[in-house]
Structure formats: C-alpha cells, structure tokens
Structure 1
Amino acid sequence: MRDGTPRTKTTFDKLAILADAAKYDASCASSGSTRRNSVSGRGVGSSEGMGICHAYAPDGRCISLLKVLLTNFCVFDCKYCVNRVSSNVERARFKPDELARLTLDFYKRNYIEGLFLSSGIIRSPDYTMEQIVEVARILREEHDFRGYIHLKTIPEADPELIRQAGVHADRLSINIELPTETGLRNLAPEKSGQTIRKAMANVRHGIDDLADARKSSLIRKAKSPRFAPAGQSTQMIVGADAARDSDIMQTANKLYAGYGLRRVYYSAFSPIPDASGDLPPLAPPLVREHRLYQADWMVRFYGYQTEDVVSATQDGMLDLSVDPKLAWALKHRAWFPVDINRASREQLLRVPGLGPKTVARILTARRHAWLSLGDLQRMRVSLSKVRPFVVTRDYSPGRLTDTENLKARFAPPPEQLSLFA
C-alpha cells in the first residue's frame, strides 16, 4: 500500500505462495483410488495452472489435483525445508472454509479431480492436524464432495486426529523424510523416526481393521466403513545427507513390508535460500531419483529382492549411466541368454527390455508356436535391447554376450545424462 500499511493477502495471493511452497512434496499420485463422478456429472478434465499437478492412475488416466499447503508457517526448523521457522520466505495461511471453497471452485470448473493438502506446523501438531481434518470434513460433510482427497498427516498429532483424517481422505501419507536415523537427527532434530513409524503403524492398523470389517457378514448388510481406501504413502529426500542408494532402498523395503505402503516417493533434494552448512551446495542429479524409482519398480513388480538390486550397485550407489535392471543383467552374465520359448516367467522378467505385460504376452503366445525374433518385434519389444540376452527359434546372440563394451552400447552419451542435472 502507498501509505505503508501491509496489503491484506487475497485468496489468489495465498494460492500463489502456498501452491509454490507445496511443489517440494512429491507424494501426490492418486493410484489406487476408485474413480468418482464429478459434481457436474460430465467427467473431469485437466488444466495447467497455479497449484495444479498431474498424477497418473494405473490405467494411464491423468488425474489433476490441487496441490497446496494449508500454511507455510512452521514452528519446526528442519534444515532441508524452505518453510522452516528460520527461513526468510513470504508466509501465508488459508482458513479451512476458505480452502474448501477454493477446492470446490476448481472442481466445479472441471480443472481438478481432487485435493492434495499438506501444511507447515502452526501452534502445535494437534492444532495443525485439526485444521487439515476440518478442510476435508467441510468438503465431505457440508458439500458432499466426491473428489479425491490426499492428506499429508502429521506424525506427532494425536492418533484420533489421524483416524479422523482417514475417514475423510482417500489416501494418507506420512513422510519418513530421510532414509537414516542419523540423517534425521542431524537435519531434523525436532522429528523422531520412532514417532513417524508409530503413526504409520496406526494408519496401517486402521486400513487392516477396515479390510477385516468388510469381510464380516454384518458389514456386508450395512454401509461399509471408510478409512483411507487408497492406502498410505511416504516420501524420502534424496541427496540431502550422506545416505547411499543402498541405504534408501533398504529403508524403503522395510517400509513396504512393515506398513503396507502403496508407494514410497523419492524426492531429489533442492538447494534452498539461506541454507545450513550441513546441506550440500548442489542438488543431486535428477537421474539418481529416476534410478531409485526404477529400482523400486524392480522389487515391487519384477520379482527382484532388494539385495539383488543392491548387489549391482557401485559402493552402494546405483549406476546412473544405465537402468538398474540392465546393470544387474550385466553383472550376472551367467543368467543369460534366456530361451524365450522355455524360460519361466521369473527368468523372462530379468531380461532387459521385457516388462510384465510383454512377458504375459510371450507366455500366452508360446503355447501355440515357437517364437522367433520377428514375433518379439511384433510385440513391440526393443530388439536392440533384448538381443544380447535372449535365444529364440531363429536367433542366438553368440559372442554378443561376451562383448566387453556391451554396457557402452546401452549407456547414453554424457551430454544426454547432463540433461537430468
């Protein structure tokens, strides 16, 4: 203002600040939810815009979410967080009813299919969690909102508040933050790994209790209860501390096994203003984040054990020049070549260039005929990638499997890798 009086922030001002502050949270995909009809009944579109992010369901559907913080005020001082209490950033805060109205406005205009809501900690974890739950409650109970809601929950909050969040949300997530206790202690001393894991356990118990209840004959006759039907997820920051990729993968494996997570997200550390000297001055290459997702996929969908993937790392770090499945194949040459017409499903899934859907097609097709290299090509398999690793009716790789520079054939040139930096 010209008279020196601070200008009151409009809803648009708040959205600009709090949508930008939410961009560091990667765990906003909505896979696993049931598709809902829009309020208008005409389906859901998508739009580029402030605070709108795009996630993808397992069927390939693009899902647009309003991704925003309730507030970027925070009483915690996590060194890696741009919204920490000591950070010199512009602050803003939505009231629960204000954010609910904003979500409905976006939804009715067919810009979004749902809401991803996180927040800094204000006053106390319980107070902040109450505010987050209130946004979801207003949407569900006062406006009969049928869109997707993903709430980032606060592990230090009362378990009853987290339970209430699960009643209204499709998915809950609790960030593990860093892969090791040492990293968490050094960079976020106000947070406790034990508290985070306890909150995750409470969410899993709520999900398991719902599954058990739905199996009972009484529940089948009544309206089913609701608790985070799309499950829970978490996020780990990559590159903020000295944790190796092997540490990250082993932590992820424990989280999947112990808490039934739908997804672990990996977020490459981004340098922030006025950063602590304990943080690296540069961000890790984004290809490192990409390789971690590929390794995660190998364990979840390709039948690898975490130890298999870790064994192919170099001093605990994934090879950035090639994907981890190819790195494993190059290190375990005795497994190859694999006979396409005789190998088991597990063996075929280890062949670079073959995914679960392609392997299923191979298993079906070979019941009727011996498959050739041309048959693989008609299945849209990348022959340049599979040739050194397979035998077909009309093809054998011969000395290709012994070529010392096989890795160099698949690795992109250094300038291409630099695009990820």
Structure 2
Amino acid sequence: MKKDIYEKMQVLANSAKYDVSCSSSGSDNNHKTGELGATHNSGICHTFTADGRCVSLLKVLLTNYCIYDCAYCINRKSNDIKRAAFSPRELADITINFYKRNYIEGLFLSSGIIDNEDHTMVLILRTLKILRFKYHFNGYIHVKLIPGADNRLIDEVVSLANRVSSNIELPSDKSLKLLAPNKTKEKILQPLKHARDRSLQNDTKPIGMSTQLIVGATPETDKDILKLSSVLYDKALLKRVYYSAYIPVNDEKNLPSLINKPPLLREHRLYQADWLLRFYDFSYDEIVNEEYPNLDEDVDPKTSWALHNLSYFPMEINKASKDELLRIPGIGVRGVFKILKARKFKSLDFEDLKKLKISIKRAQYFITCKGKYHSKVSFSKETIKQAIIAPPKKRIIQPSLFDIEYSAITGEL
C-alpha cells in the first residue's frame, strides 16, 4: 500500500470506529466458509453471520470531511482533526486487494457529508459501481445511506448493496435539535422508508436495514430507547437496532464530561432487551414501564421481568406452553424446543433437563419439575435476586473450551 493511501486508511478507518451498526447477520453471499486471512491494523472489523461464522469487513469512511457540526461526533466540522478523502477508485482498489488477500470478506462504507448530500451519495455510488461492474465483486457490502440524498441515488445504491443503514443516533427530536441541528428523525429515516417501500412496490426481496442509537449522551431513559426500537421493528423498517455506549470525544457543554466512562453495562442490557423484543415476543412496556423506566443493571431483562411478575411462577416444566417456557429466565429458544420434544416421550425432572444440556442456574428459581421445586432459597423477589446476583462461592476450576455455555455465543436468555 502506497504511503499516502496508507495514511488515508489510518485516518478514515479510525474515524469510522464509533459506528457500531456494522453486521452481515442474515445476509446471503457466495463466500466459502473459513477463508479468513491475515488481519490489518486499520480498517478491519469482525462481525458474526446468522450461522455463527466470524467474518471480517473493511470498515472505513469515504471521507471524514463533513459540513455538519454534530456535537457528539469526532468528525464535526468545527473539530481540528486530520482530514482525508478517498477517491472512489482508490477505495474500490483497496477493497478488492484486501479481499484477494483474504484480509476481508466484505465492505462497510460510510462517509462524512462533503459539499452536500447528493454529491456524497454520488461518490459512494461510484465506488460501488467500480466494485460490482469493473471488478465483478459479488461479496458483502453494507452502505450508510446519506439522509437528504435524492431518492434516485438511494435506489441505485440499494440495488448494489447487501445491507443499508441510516443512523438515528439520538432517541428524540429534542436531543437531535440540541446536538445535531442539521438532522431530524424523519430526515434520517426517509432513506430507509424509501428503500422499504421500493422493495414492496417492486415485489423484490427486502434489503436488510439497520440503525444506531447512542446510549448515555442524552437524558432519555431505556424506556424511550426501547419504545423507539419497538416502533421501528413493528413498521418492518429495520432488521436490527444497534446500541452504542457514548464515548466522550468532544468537550461540549450539552454532553457528558470527557472524564465520564462509557455506560457499557447499560448498552449490554439494551442488547439483551432488544433480543427479547425480536425473538421472545416481549413488548417493550413489559420490559420497562413508567414505574421502572430503566433496565436493572444487576440482572438481565428477562430475569428482571420474572422477578416483577412472580405470580406467573414457578412454572411446571411438564405443563407450561411454548410461550410460557420462553418466559423462564435461563431457558432459551433452543432449550424450549428441546423440552417440548422430550416431553412427548416422558415427564421431565431436573436431571433430564441437565441431560438435555439446559442450564438451570437461573431457571431453578422459576420452575418445578413433577411438582418439585429445586431451589433451596425462599420464593420471594428479594431472596431470588440476591441468590442470582451473589451465588454461593465454589471451588474455581478452569473450564475447557467445551464447558463454555453456548448461550454466551447465541445471546439466548
């Protein structure tokens, strides 16, 4: 890589690192499994596909020049930082060369707004056309759409990309007006709405779409955030909402201090709650409400819901319906199907659950098997929560790779 190109890569890959809405989950491609090569110091990010494969993407900005002055953004026009810009040909050449060397399996492309929205979208489109038509690159491409760009440009980009996104960033119009005066929620969502409507009108397969919400930069509660996510899912506008703990990068009076630590645990709980929205048929107001507008950081959201709704428990594992089993903390979707299948042949006890490799570490407090309650703690919110938070100490044994629970990878609750 030539020195000037290498320097551009360092600047523009570093400028892209705060965008977490980067995933190839659920995409279709022609890649061969396992062809992951060496990594590179700048621009390479790792993500997971729906089947659990780890893939590498070149994550980079076309340019970090920007006419916007969003208070939370490192690339805001008022910041005195090193700037750079790729030409469409330069970025296409880097992408295809990295791909041929097995450094990457695809591209995640975003950009600052240079000159105006249409001009920036044209440059992104040229990059995609070089990759698709000149180099016949059929790999994964995720593009950040530019809010405010002409719909005709959006159409062309969507036709060439595997996934598109447009980051809302802040959960309310009030916060956007305060910290990002060039943006509105409607303007940000318009490209995604157009892409969705286009696919419905043309009867084509809907393209995967996502967005990012910054957590902790503004005073919105988890209820505000999850309500917005729920609405976006219900409108079939998005496949994924990504949550990003705010990392202070600018000294701004309307933002948390630079010495504040990112709310990483809160971000983690929001991802768990989002999982409940998408895979466990929870509504947002079951997870958070007026009385409890923020997620409990001590326990996961599913356990928190169970503790606040002990009247539903303990559930008899041999009689509970599929929907009821999905509500039991510690038992995931796969575990539910294992239980339903095994119940056809016999009545299950706790030993049977262990043989099915269903963890009862949390579930034991919320279930009975053949009428028997396994846990030795009293059945109350306080004692169960304390037992989950601070379980009895055991002799530490170094686990092998095969002892690690699969749920740590799948995210099952």
Q: Same fold (TM over 0.5)?
A: yes
Partners of 2:158 and 2:207 within 8 A in 1: no
Q: What amino acid sits opposite 1:389 in the alignment?
A: F
* Cα pair distance change 1:43/1:140, threshold 3 Å: farther
Aligned to 2:126: 134
Note the 1:198-277 alignment, pairs <5 A.
198-210=190-202, 212-213=203-204, 230-273=207-250, 275-277=251-253
Query: Are positions 1:147 and 2:139 aligned together?
Result: yes
Note the 1:18-167 alignment, pairs <5 A.
18-37=12-31, 44-49=35-40, 50-167=42-159
Partners of 1:45 and 1:111 within 8 A in 2: yes
Aligned to 1:173: 165
Aligned mate of 1:303, from 278, 281, 284:
281
Distance (whole Å) between structure 1 residues aligned to residue 77 and residue 223 of structure 2:
32
Aligned mate of 1:320, from 297, 305, 319:
297
Query: Are positions 1:10 and 2:10 aligned together?
Result: no
Aligned mate of 1:382, from 315, 337, 359:
359
Write the deviation string for residues 138-164 of structure 1: whole angstroms up to 9, x where unpaired. 100111001100000111111111111
Aligned to 1:223: none
Of 333-342 and 375-384, deviating more is 375-384
TM norm structure 2: 0.90
* Cα pair distance change 1:170/1:403, threshold 3 Å: closer
Aligned to 1:4: none
* Cα pair distance change 1:203/1:326, threshold 3 Å: same
Query: Are positions 1:337 and 2:328 aligned together?
Result: no
Alpha-carbon RMSD across the aligned residues, in angstroms, is 1.9
Cα deviation, residue 89, structure 1: 1.2
Write the deviation string for residues 188-223 of structure 1: whole angstroms up to 9, x where unpaired. 01112221222221011123234x257xxxxxxxxx
Aligned to 2:188: 196
Secondary structure of the 1:251 match is helix
Partners of 1:201 and 1:259 within 8 A in 2: no
Q: What amino acid sits opposite 1:171 in the alignment?
A: R
Distance (whole Å) between structure 1 residues aligned to residue 291 and residue 127 of structure 2:
46
How many residues are matched?
A: 386
Partners of 1:74 and 1:84 within 8 A in 2: yes
Q: What amino acid sits opposite 1:84 in the alignment?
A: R
Cα deviation, residue 384, structure 1: 2.3
Write the deviation string for residues 293-333 of structure 1: whole angstroms up to 9, x where unpaired. 1001001101111110113x864111111101100011100
* Cα pair distance change 1:338/1:190, threshold 3 Å: same
* Cα pair distance change 1:323/1:46, threshold 3 Å: farther
**What stretches of structure 1 of length at least 5 have no aligned partner?**
1-7, 215-228, 414-421
Distance (whole Å) between structure 2 residues aligned to residue 154 and residue 64 of structure 1:
24
Q: What amino acid sits opposite 1:410 in the alignment?
A: I
Secondary structure of the 1:236 match is strand
Secondary structure of the 1:317 match is coil
Secondary structure of the 1:246 match is helix
TM norm structure 1: 0.88
Secondary structure of the 1:292 match is helix
* Cα pair distance change 1:403/1:74, threshold 3 Å: closer
**What stretches of structure 2 of length at least 5 have no aligned partner?**
392-413
Write the deviation string for residues 383-418 of structure 1: whole angstroms up to 9, x where unpaired. 2211110111273247632363221222269xxxxx
Distance (whole Å) between structure 2 residues aligned to residue 197 and residue 306 of structure 1:
21
Aligned to 2:398: none
Distance (whole Å) between structure 2 residues aligned to residue 155 and residue 412 of structure 1:
47
More helix by share: 1
Partners of 1:26 and 1:266 within 8 A in 2: yes
Aligned to 1:418: none
Partners of 1:389 and 1:397 within 8 A in 2: no
